[in-house]
Structure 1
Amino acid sequence: MPLIYKICPASAWREAERQGVYRGSRDDARDGFIHFSTAPQVNETARKHFFGQTGLFLVEVETDALGAALRWERSRNDELFPHLYGELDLGAVRRVLNMHARSDGTHDIPELEP
């Protein structure tokens, strides 16, 4: 089963756990879909969009559970990125990992499965 990843503030994820669904960030709402990354894309996504931020989670999601709402679309560097057109049912989440911030603004990325 292929896996994809969502970086989000821990507070936003805790709220999703309370509600039973993740609806995405303000950027996701603006763009009309929830942004995800593949394992090889996570480092660059963290650097580009989350540099210097603390209190982040990396949410690992099983793509097989997302159905037709998941689309692969060209984005940064003409790479295909996973975009979810709809809410993320927490039943699709495999695990939630801490992303520790380093003093230089980068993050320790846990070992990921593709």
Structure 2
Amino acid sequence: MLIFKIFRADEWAALRKDKETAGAPIDVTDGYVHFSTAEQAAETAAKHFSGEEGLYLLAVETDSCGQDIKWEKSRGDALFPHLYRKLALSDLVWAQPLPLLDGVHQFPAGLAEASA
């Protein structure tokens, strides 16, 4: 299953340069890399990245992360995927810009279907 990480442009650039990252500042503070499922990603963007331009959406296949992915309760008691190691550039299935249009981030069409 695909899970998703939203990065700011500087975080995305650092991952490309360094080939791995402990994540965004909130990830470093919490001790794991926060991810969302396809169904959770838009709400995550609205809640934590409202109005921000220059974002990137990264997709990771959970199978490639093995036991380092833990599903834990978070917002609304929903289970969210958390990665308990550094995120490696090689973990990515794809990455693409997450444009902002009229104040709403535009996710790829069919994201939920593509993640299954």
Classify the TM-score, shorter chain: over 0.9
Query: 1:109 maps to what in 2?
Result: 107
Q: List, as ranges, runs of 4+ consecutive aligned residues in structure 1 with deviation greater than 6 Å.
A: none
TM-score between the two structures when normalised by the length of structure 1: 0.93
> Percent sequence identity over matched residues?
43
Give the match's secondary structure for 1:46. Answer: helix
Structure 1 runs not aligned, ≥5 long: none
Structure 2 runs not aligned, ≥5 long: none
| Contact 1:63 1:92 survives alignment (8 Å) | no
What letter matches 2:60 in structure 1? V
Root-mean-square deviation (Å): 1.0
Q: How many residues align?
A: 112
Q: What is the distance in 2 between the residues matched to 1:89 and 1:7?
A: 15
Give the match's secondary structure for 1:66. Answer: helix
Q: What is the distance in 1 between the residues matched to 2:67 and 2:22?
A: 17
Q: What is the distance in 2 between the residues matched to 1:9 and 1:43?
A: 15
Name the stretch that deviates more: 31-40 or 84-93: 84-93
